[in-house]
Amino acid sequence: MNFMKSSRVIIIWFILLNIFGVSLIKLGGGGDTLFMFNGGIIKLSFSIITLIGVFCYAVSFLLWINIIRIHDLSYIAPLATGLVTVLTFFVGILVFNEIVTTWKVLGLISIVLGVACMNLKK
């Protein structure tokens, strides 16, 4: 597998694990608690679903470290985080029944246009 193809695979895994991780963390918030941390201002409860989500998110972070090491940061950061934001928006709607508003759609469009503008060739 050549460099560009393997790089795309890593980016796809980053995006999928990132979205899957945050979705599981949100889903696990209402589940059976395995253990709880209460540090005054911060109160966290962890279910098995939350822990799987944290694991997925941590793996996505390790992939992110590799991605930004081998790509131009000004190119890859807006592209990858823009894709994560757009796809997470749709997961929120489809999985969590989040409400779509005009402002959310306008924000999403501006993210897509911003990423596109940043990656235009001179």
Write out residues in the chain with pLDDT < 70, as ranges: 1-4, 30-39, 122
| Domain range summary for the chain, segments of one domain joined by + | 3-118
pLDDT of residue 41: 75
pTM to 2 decimal places: 0.83
pLDDT of residue 98: 95
DSSP character at residue 45 = E
H helices of 1-118, in order, are 3-28, 48-70, 73-96, 102-118
Q: How far is the CA of 10 from the CAs of 71, 94, 108, 113, in angstroms? A: 12, 25, 24, 24
pLDDT of residue 122: 58
How many whole angstroms separate alpha carbon 19 and alpha carbon 37? Answer: 24
The phi and psi torsions of 37 (rounded to 5 degrees) equal -120, 130
